[in-house]
Structure 1
Amino acid sequence: MPTGSNRRAFLRATALTGGATAFSGALWHRAFAATGVPRGPAQPGAGPYGPLQAADANGLRLPAGFTGRVVARSLQRVPGTRHTWHSAPDGGACFPTADGWIYVSNSEVPLIGGASALRFNASGTVTDAYRILNMTTLNCAGGATPWDTWLSCEEYDLGIVYETYPQGGRPAAQRPAMGRFKHEAAACDPVRKVVYLTEDQGDGCFYRFVPATWGDLSSGTLEVLIGSGTGPVTWRRVPNPRVWTTPTRNQVEGAMRFDGGEGCYYTDGVCYFTTKGDGRVWAYDAAASTLGLAYDDDLVTGGEAPLTGVDNITGTRSGDLYVAEDGGDMQINMITPNGVVTPFLQVVGHEKSEITGPAFSPDGSRLYFSSQRGRSGAIGGGDGHTFEVTGPFRA
């Protein structure tokens, strides 16, 4: 395979001739797999909401009809509460309550990282803010469970997954059976009753955890994806996920390598996950046990790649995927059901930051995310901004 600047040209050329193995296993969300659209990596095009408008007072460029606000700032009290928001906000998710919803957010700082929560009432007013995890290290991304807990993942070599309770009132619990490695994100598959896990290493792996009892993550089996690229793949048990002298990713021969695993999102039989090192959004078809590509910035054939520095990922009931950029143009891009990749929003004036934690409110009308280092770009994330965008999102 060519390297460096030749790699993009090589992949584009093979894509145009139909010879790229990246296309052989390319999958699309089942909601639009039967639409007749060629099932290759997404290409640039016009989005469903129109072009981005000029930046507002908070530096947000949004489509017409959408509005944004800042709901929390690092090292400042959350308005209307006595809670000081954490530094370096990272992965996040929303959870329903009886009278509104909760947005949780990790803190990607060493030793005191943890996670915090913002509680909203039905009108969208912040009514409370509080910690749900304390004294942990480099809590990067994570994932929500079907039983409304938040999996907060530590991103270092011996990192642990912590199961936390957004509603409060119960201490977080370590889940070492899910492996000790440089965790990034998690996504639950309630059909196969497994949890998918990404690893932020240049030669990292893609894992799934099979609990002994669904809903109880204290015991089970960690498995790693086996394959050589797109197409059919299998799983094999990791022998020593809790305590090791050989790193988890190196314990199983034939484990497939991924260049910097980042976000992870499961929907309707497909687990999408991103790899920042090569600018890809992968699609694992859980029913067929097949791996494909939903997006690859080297396989954009209609101009420059609009989505670079792929990172956290989420989606909507309409089938749209939303992918945040670590750097790039500080955008969240959509990948639509008809295979179009297009910018949805941009944060202006935060050029030394990254976008983290995209998550939709339970009714799908509000999108939350953070600029981890804010306008200052300071290491440590002391200027982090957490935003809310409201508008006519597709149902």
Structure 2
Amino acid sequence: MTLSRRDFIRSAQAVGLFYASVSIAGCARAHSANRSFALIPDPARRLDLPEGFSYTMVSEAGGMMSDGFYRPGRPDGMACFAHPDDSDKCILMRNHENWNSVPTGSPFGKGNELLDRVSESQLYDRKKDGSPFFGGVSKVVYDLKHKRMERDFLVLTGTAANCAGGPTPWGSWLSCEEEMLTPAEGPGKYHGFVFETPSDATGLIDAIPLKAMGRFTHEAASVDPKTGIVYMTEDARHGLFYRFIPNVPGKLQEGGRLQALALKGRKSAITSNWPKDWGGNGPETFVVGQDHVAEWIDLNDVEAPEGDLAHRGHAAGAARFMRGEGLDYAVRMDGETGDFYFTCTEGGAERVGQIWRYTPDEGAEAGGTLQLFFESTSADSLDMCDNLVVAPWNDIILCEDGRGDQYLRGLTPDGKIYDIARNAHKDQSEFCGACFSPDGTTMFVNIQQPGYTVAITGPWETLRA
């Protein structure tokens, strides 16, 4: 099996091509060993679902949007917001993970003939040849009652590889750049930042990076609703787990402090559970269910023009996580406390995925508790978990970005994995951006290639049962 361009970039940035090639070659293609729900083959060969469930195609990349731009390619991270005026409708804020080296997926048409409709303040950056970057965010207004898209349009553009992000309690979407480009590589500006896009946007906004939130290979973000602190993952094999303490909660543009998680008594811990030969600490370094006391390290020079923020943080004592990706906050049954769950796509002794749980203590300066919540022991059960979302019934919904069949999986509080959907399309592309409508009736998810956004409905209560 050949190494994808995306895996190539991630691997080369982290530990070199040798490790990447061995990891790919040593892992078999995944099938499902989870027998809790049988998936019914889709005659259209798009999406296999359990009995009683169905999907509606919301949109496909490449079509014309309501604003006259073309729908960008590679839909990725996404969040759903309540419509301010109509409870039968909802709003999707949808990322587009178009990389610098990917020539397709432009919202501006052939030869970028529509680019003159975009002001310089709205277009974050251009490539060396003067053409625009194609990453960004589109907004979708979806009619839940009639199961159809009402309109969609471009909100953010000119950014690079907007992979994941996260919603805020104040109604905006944090869109995160995964690609850390520098002007020396051709662009006019540095990349690798967070951009805030309001869910009530009516068109393109000015593209303003939140530089105080750090420059690194950003993946997901999630906000503590009690404190306004933003937690963030990093999709790199040398990545850290970050938090941003804003000077003014709810106003990230006012700046703040960036920190990285460390473990008390375990300076510069490596959490991958990889054997030593693979750059880990040996097998069973971290045990599922065991709590570890967390503390936080202040980071300096967070705009990191050299792209070395994670390396400096690790040297200062921060824990290293194996490709942190999906991240979401879950309120506990008491309604007062909550936990952050995040994935490590290549974590674990079998290198097919870990899910961690971080529980913050009270107060902005407090530490908290870190626990390895789940570690996959087989690609046939869970293969390289990427984006995640906590379901209304408190299971964790996991989007796979693996090496074989791509599944949407559920994870129960007692550690049981079950299948929700299988990508039946010939491209076998990753699932991403899973999120639920405010009323919990509809789950939206993207299939990155060929660029589908779908809405899934059905008897969700049977999954938890």
Give the equivalent residue in structure 1 for 2:406.
330
1:191 aligns with 2:191: no
Note the C-alpha offset of 1:204. 0.6
| 1:147-162 → structure 2 map (5 Å cutoff) | 147-157=170-180, 158-162=191-195
Cα distance change on mapping 1:312 and 1:143 into 2, 3 Å: same
Stretches of structure 1 lacking an aligned partner (at least 5 in a row):
9-43, 375-383
Query: Which among 211, 216, 220 is matched to residue 176 of structure 1?
Result: 211
Return the match for 2:197 from 153, 164, 177.
164
Match of 1:265 among 282, 305, 328: 328
1:371 to 423, 447, 454: 447
Q: Does 1:221 align with 2:221?
A: no
Q: 1:350 to 1:221 in 2, by over 3 A?
A: farther
Q: Map 1:203-214; keep pairs closer than 5 Å.
A: 203-214=238-249
The amino acid that maps onto 1:52 is: L
Asked if structure 1 preserves the Cα contact closer than 8 Å seen for 2:235 and 2:323, the reply is yes
Which of 369, 391, 411 is the matching residue for 1:290?
369
Describe the shift of the 1:368–1:350 C-alpha distance in structure 2 as closer, same or farther (beyond 3 A).
Answer: farther
Residue 343 (1) aligns with residue 343 (2): no
Aligned equivalent of 1:381: none
Alpha-carbon spacing, 1:95–1:246, altered in 2? closer, same or farther (3 Å) = closer
Q: Report if aligned partners of 2:58, 2:148 keep a CA contact under 8 Å in 1.
A: no
More strand by share: 1
Tell me what 2:294 maps to.
Answer: 233
Range 103-112 or range 223-232, more displaced: 223-232
Q: 2:138 — aligned with what?
A: 116
1:251 aligned residue: 312
Q: Is the 8 A contact 2:67 2:154 kept in 1?
A: no
Alignment of 1:390 onto 2:439: no
How far residue 239 of structure 1 moved from its aligned partner, in angstroms, is 1.2
Q: Secondary structure at the match of 1:177?
A: helix
- TM-score, normalised relative to structure 1: 0.80
C-alpha distance 153-131 of structure 1, shift in aligned 2 (>3 A):
same
Indicate if the aligned counterparts of 1:283 and 1:294 stay in contact, CA closer than 8 A. yes
Matched, 1:281 2:267: no
Output the amino acid matched with 1:160: F
1:87 pairs with 2:148: no
Paired residues in the alignment total 340
The answer to whether 1:312 aligns with 2:354 is no
- Give 1:155's aligned amino acid: E
CA displacement 1:100-141 (0-9 Å, x = unmatched): 111121111132211101102341331111011011111111
User: Alpha-carbon deviation of 1:240?
Assistant: 1.3
Q: Which residue of 1 aligns with 2:116?
A: none
Higher RCO, Cα 8 Å, sep 6+: 1
